[in-house]
Structure 1
Amino acid sequence: MFKVTSFLWLFVFGCSSVSSELIYNGLSNSFEPDWWQSEIIYQIYVRSFKDSNGDGIGDLNGIREKVPYFKSIGVGAVWLSPIFLSPQNDFGYDISDYKEIDPIYGSMADFERMRDEFHKNGIKVLLDFVPNHTSDEHEWFQKSIQKVQPFTDYYVWKDPIIDQQGNRTPPNNWLGVFNSGSAWEWNEERQQYYLHQFQVKQPDLNYRNPSVGEEIKNTLLYWLGRGVDGFRFDAVNYLFERKDLADEPKSNKIGFLDTDYDSLIHTSTLDQPETYEMVGVWRQMLDSYRTSEKKTKFMMVECYSPFDKTMRYYGNQSSPGAHFPFNFMFIGTFDQQSNAPKVHNIIKSWFEGMPNGMWPNWVLGNHDNARVATRSNPLLVDGLHMIQSLLPGTQVTYYGDELGLIDTNVRWDQTVDPAGLNVGPYRYTKFSRDPVRTPFPWDSSYNAGFSNSSHLWLPLNSDYWLKNMEEESKYKSNLKTYRQLSKLRRSPVFVKGDMHLYTLSKWVFGFSRSFYDHPTYFIVVNFGSEIEVIDLLKVRDTLPLTLKVKISSINSGYITGNIIHTKFVVLRPKAALVLTTAKTNSNS
C-alpha cells in the first residue's frame, strides 16, 4: 500500500539544499476507509474532563454532557482512560475488577447512557484496557496468595535466592518502572516473591498460565457485549518475561541511579516472542466478533519499544497483530531543536518501517508525557496539528491539545502521581505526570467550568481564564485551527491522495497531497526562529503562480482566502500554512 521512491535534490535561492520525495502513492478512487482509518481518536483522561457531581473528579455523566463538543471538533471515536473498579493507587491502571465501573466515575447505567449518546451521534467508544497487571486487591491475587486453585499461578511467583550469609534476596536484578528499586516484592503469607514491573500494588499476571489468557479474553468479550467498539491495550510489551529469569545488563545511561529503571537494558522483560503471539490472539478474537452491525472492533497497543520491535506489533497481512501500535516518534524524538530534515525523517521512517498493507498513525501527546506545546513551542501547535491531521493515517489527539494547553505547574504538596511520589520532592518534577493530567478548562468561570467543588483532584492551569474552550471559540485560536483541520482532513485528497515530503530549508518542512483532479494542497511549517521566504515553484514547477491560504496558524499573519505568490511564501518563525491550488472563488 505504501511505497518509497528515490530522492530528488533541488535548490532554493541557491543557498540551501531541498529534498523532495514521493513517500506515499495514495489509494484507488474506489477505496473506502474503515472507521478507524478515517476518524479522529480523542483520548479522554476521565478524571480531568468534566465533573458532574461536584466531587472534584471527572466522571461519565460529565463526559456525556460534552458530546456536542466532540461533534464540533470532528471526533469520531473517544478513548477513555481506565474506568474499571480500582483502589486508584495508579488512577485506574490498578484494576481490582475488570467487569465493574468504579463508583468515582459512575455506574454501569451511567456508562450505558454515555455509550448510547456517543453512538447516537456516530462516535465510537474505546476502553483503555490494562492486561499486564492487576491491583493487589483483585480477587485473583488474594486467592493466588493463598494458593487457591485455579488462581495459584495467575501471577508471577518465584522463590528467593539465599546468599552465603543466609539473607533472602530477589530472584534477579529486574527493576520496577515506578518504584525505584526491585521489581520483586516479598509476600510473607505465601513465602515467595511476586513480580511487579510497575508499582508494588500492581502484580504482573502470568501469561504462561493459559487460564490467564482465557480470563482476559472473557473480559474483552464481556465489554464487547456491552457495546464498546474496541480497546487501547496498555503496556503490552511487558506481558511476558524470559523463563530463565536472566539478569538484565546495565545501560550505563548518565544521570540515573542504579535503582532507576533506566539503569538497565530490558532484554528479559520486554517484547518477548510470546507477547507478539498474544497480541495476534486478541486481534483474531476481535476480528471474529460479529454483531448485527458488522463493524470492525478495533485495537491499538502501547509499547515504548525500539523501532523494529514496535513495528512487529502490526503483525503482517497473513497474521495481523494490532490495527496499529502507537507512533510515539513525535513524542520521543521531536523537541525544540528539531529541524526540517529531522521531521522529514520521522515521517519517512514510519512509512518505510511499516509492514506491507498496514496503516500509519500520528500521536503528539498522551497522559504519560509533557504536552506538545510544552515539549516544542506553543506557537508550533498549529503547525504540528497540520502535520498530524493531513498526513495519511489515523490522528490520535490527547484532550486539551486542541486548545494548545501547556503543562500545569503542580507543586510537590499537590503531587498525586505515584511516578513522582516514589522518587521524592527533589526529583518529582522529572518523573511526575500530573502536569499533563490537570482539568480541562471549559470557560473562565469558577474552576474553569470543570467542577463546582471547592477542591479539585489536581489544580487547574493558572491561565484557564484565557486559555479555555469558550474563549478560544471566539477568536483566531488553536481550537479554531483544529476545527478547520478536522473538516479538511475528510476531503478525498487527504483520505486517499498521494504524498510528497519536502525539506525546503534547514528549518522549513513541507508536504503536499494530491488526488486526481482535486486541488493540490501544500502544507509548510517553519520550525526555526527566523523569517523564511520559500519558492515552491523550485520544488514543483507545475504549480500555478499563486496559491490560496486554506488554513493558517495563529502567528502566520495570514487568514483563510489570502492569495500568496508561489515563488515568495513568507513564513514567520514557528508559522505554518495550508495552501491550495483551488481557485480563489472555490470552496474546495
Structure 2
Amino acid sequence: MKDSGYDIQDFRDIAPVFGTMDDFHSLSKAVHKRGIKLVLDFVPNHSSNLHEWFQKSVKREVPYADYYIWADAKGFGTEATPIPPNNWRSVFGGSAWEWNQERRQFYLHQFLKEQPDLNYRNPLVLEEMKNVMQFWLDQGVDGFRLDAVAHLFEDEDLRDEMVKDEDATDEYSQLDHKYTFNLPEVLDVLREFRIVLDKNSENATKIMMTEAYMPVEKLMAYYGNKSHPIAHFPLNFALISASQKNITAQSIYTAVSTWMNNLPKGAWPNWVIGNHDNSRAATRFGAELVDAINMIALLLPGTPVTYNGEEIGMEDADVSWEQTKDTAGINAGPKKYKQFSRDPERTPMQWDAGINAGFSNANQTWLPVNTNYKTLNVESQLNEKWSHIKVYKQLTEARKTEAIMNGGLDIHILEDSVLVYTRVREGFPGYVVVVNFAPDTVTVDITNLAHMPNESSVYTFSTTYAHSFTAKKRISNSAVVLPGKGGLVLTFVPDFPKEVISL
C-alpha cells in the first residue's frame, strides 16, 4: 500500500489490510440498520501498478494494451537513459512519466509511479469503471465520493506545460497545468458515471460527490445542468481556503457569498470544514473558533461535510519522521516532511481516555494517537456541562427545522470582525448565527437585519462563553455580546409585513 489505499490493486475487493468483503457487508448492514448512509471513495483516475489490468497492459495483451497512457521516449541521453515525452510533473514531485523496461515505453502517473493513470480515451476503460461502480451499488452502497476527478484527461498531443511560478515550494506548483488538469472531456466521463447512479436511484437517491480543487467559477460546471446533471455536489473547499492564512469575518463572508452567488439555479450547496488532505479545523482556525466554525457551516443552506473529530475539536498531532506514513511526507525527506505530510490530520478518532483513545485494541495503530487524547475525547465531552460535542449536537438538531432546511440566507459583516447571517422562512421560527473573529469582546446591534425583532432567544453558544450563560435566555438584539472568538446562535419570530385587506 503506497498511498493509504489510493493505489488500488482490485476495484472489486477489500484490501486485506482493511478486512474482507464479509467485514464490508457487516459494516453495511450495521450502518443501514441505524439509518446511516454508506458512501465509498471511488478512485477513477488510476489503479495500482500491481493491478491485473496494468500487468497485462505492460505485455500489450488485448484488450488491455491501451488501458493506460503509454508514450515513446523523446530520445535517449547518456548511457541510453530514456528521456520523458514532456515536462509534466507528478503531484507528489518529479516527472509524471515512468519508464517501463519490458514494454520499452513511458507510462503516465499524475500521482505516484505506483499509480498509473487510466486512459479514458479508450471507451473500454470507461465501461470497466462504470461496471466497477455498478458492482458496489449492487453491494448496497448509497453513493460515492469521486477522488481527483480533474486529472482524468490529458492533452493528446502531450504538449509541454508552461512555467507559471519558478519560486513555488514544490515542483508541481511551478507549472500551469493547462494540459493535465480539468480538461473539457472530464465532465463527459462524470456525466456517464452519474447516469449509472441515476439508474440505481429508483427507491432512494444514490449520491455523487466530486473532489477537485479549482476556482469556484470553474467548479460550478461540475454540477452539470437540469438536462445533463453531473455531481449532486462538487465538494466545496472554500472554507478551507479561507482559513489557510489569517482568517477574518471578511474571508468567510467572501467564501460563502462567492459560492452562493455562482451556484446554478436549483443546485445544492455544501460546506467542507476539513478533510484528510488539510490540517484539522481546530489547527487552522484556532481552537477557540471550533464551535463558531461549526455554527457557520452546519446552519448554512445545503449540506455540511464534517471530517471525523471536528465534532470535538481534534487538532493536528505531532507525527515524527519515523512514524510518517504519508507518501507526500516521505518523498520530501526527513528535513522537509512536516511541510508536506498529511499524517497529522489523519490520526485516530479520540473516543475516550483508554488505550489508543478507544479507537483500537491493537498494540500499535497505523498512525499514533494525538497525545492530548486523555483530555480531548468524545466521552469526556459528553460528561462535561458544556462542550464542543454538545454544541455540535444542538446544531444538528437545528438542521431539522424548516428555517434551516428551506429558509433564505442573508449574510453581513458588522463592526469589521463579526460575521452574521439569518435563516428565515415565513411562518416558522428563524435563526441568526453571530460570530466574532476578533480576540476581544464586542457588542453588536442586529436589529437592522431583515425580519429581525427587538429580542431573540439563545439557542446555543460556544464554549468561550462564561458558564453562567444559558440557552433559552432572552436577549436584546440591539446589544448582542460576543466574547473573543465566540459564536452564538439565536432563534426568533421573524417580522413579516402583515397583509392589509382593503374593505
Under TM normalisation by the shorter chain, which class is it?
A: over 0.9
Matches of 1:404 and 1:360 in 2, distance apart? 24
In 1, Cα distance between equivalents of 2:104 and 2:408: 61
Return the offset for 1:256.
Answer: 2.3
Deviation at 1:185, TM superposition (A): 0.3
2:464 is aligned to 555
Question: In structure 2, do the counterparts of structure 1 residues 508 and 459 end up closer, same or farther at CA, with 3 Å as the change threshold?
Answer: same
Query: Where do 1:30-429 residues align within 5 Å?
Result: 88-162=1-75, 167-178=81-92, 180-252=93-165, 254-256=167-169, 260-290=171-201, 294-335=203-244, 337-429=246-338
Is the 8 Å Cα contact of residues 237 and 305 (structure 1) preserved in structure 2?
Answer: no
- Say which SS state the counterpart of residue 231 (structure 1) adopts: strand
Question: What is the Cα deviation at residue 502 of structure 1?
Answer: 1.4
Change (3 A) 1:288 1:363: same
Q: Give the superposition deviation at 1:335.
A: 4.0
Deviation larger for 158-167 or 389-398 = 158-167
Which amino acid letter does the alignment assign opposite residue 333 of structure 1?
A
In 2, Cα distance between equivalents of 1:464 and 1:250:
45
In the TM superposition, what is the alpha-carbon distance from 1:559 to its structure 2 partner? 2.5
CA distance in 1, matches of 2:345, 2:201: 37
Unaligned 5+ runs, structure 2: 495-503
- The alpha carbon displacement at 1:134 in A equals 0.4
Matched position secondary structure for 1:554: coil
TM-score (norm 1): 0.81
Aligned to 2:13, the other structure's residue is in SS state strand
Find 1:523's aligned residue among 403, 425, 433: 433
Letter in 1 for 2:190: V
RMSD: 1.5
Partners in 2 of 1:446 and 1:167 — Cα distance? 52
Correspondence for 1:20: none
Counterpart code for 1:115: S
- In structure 1, the residue matched to 2:444 is 534
3-state DSSP class of the match of 2:447?
helix
Letter of the structure 2 residue corresponding to residue 538 of structure 1: N
How far apart are residue 135 of structure 1 and its match?
0.4
Tell me if the contact between 1:271 and 1:309 (Cα under 8 Å) persists in the aligned partners.
no
Distance 1:249 1:399 in 2: 39
Give yes or no for the alignment of 1:436 onto 2:350. Answer: no
Which residue pairs with 2:499 in the alignment? none
Say which is worse superposed, 451-460 or 489-498, in terms of deviation.
451-460
Q: How many residues align?
A: 490
1:375 is aligned with what amino acid?
A: R
The Cα of 1:550 is off from its aligned counterpart by 0.3
CA-CA distance at 1:105 after TM superposition: 2.0
Percent identity, aligned pairs only, is 45
1: distance between equivalents of 2:201 and 2:280? 38
Structure 1 distance, partners of 2:439, 2:252, is: 16
Instruction: Provide the rounded CA distance (Å) in 2 between the counterparts of 1:444 and 1:269.
Output: 46
Tell me the distance in 2 between the aligned counterparts of 1:336 and 1:324. Answer: 26
Distance 2:143 2:363 in 1: 36
Per the TM alignment, residue 138 of structure 1 is displaced from its structure 2 partner at its CA by 0.2
| Distance change in 2, residues 1:336/1:563 (3 Å) | farther
**Alignment deviations for residues 204-263 of structure 1 (CA, whole Å, 9 cap, x no partner):** 000011100000001111111111110000000000001111111112153425xx1111
Contact in 1 for aligned 2:168/2:174 (Cα 8 Å): no
Map of 1:546 onto structure 2: 455
Correspondence for 1:46: none
Q: SS in structure 2 opposite 1:522?
A: strand
Structure 1 residue 163: Cα displacement: 5.6
The superposition leaves residues 548-579 of structure 1 with CA deviations (integer Å, 9 ceiling, x where unpaired) of 11010000233212222211111111000001
Structure 1 position 479, deviation (Å): 0.8
Give, in whole Å, the separation in 1 of the partners of 2:252 and 2:35: 34
The equivalent of 1:58 in structure 2 is none
- Gapped runs of 5+ residues in structure 1? 1-87, 584-588
Amino acid at match of 2:408: D
What is residue 55 of structure 1 aligned with on the other side?
A: none
Given that residues 136 and 142 in structure 1 are in contact (C-alpha distance below 8 angstroms), is that contact kept between their aligned partners in structure 2? yes
Query: What secondary structure, in the 3-state scheme, does the structure 2 residue paired with 1:136 have?
Result: coil
Q: Does 1:564 align with 2:475?
A: yes
Q: CA deviation at 1:456?
A: 1.7
Using CA pairs below 8 Å that are at least 6 residues apart, which structure has the higher relative contact order?
1
Amino acid at match of 2:131: N
Asked whether 1:491 is paired with 2:404, we answer: no
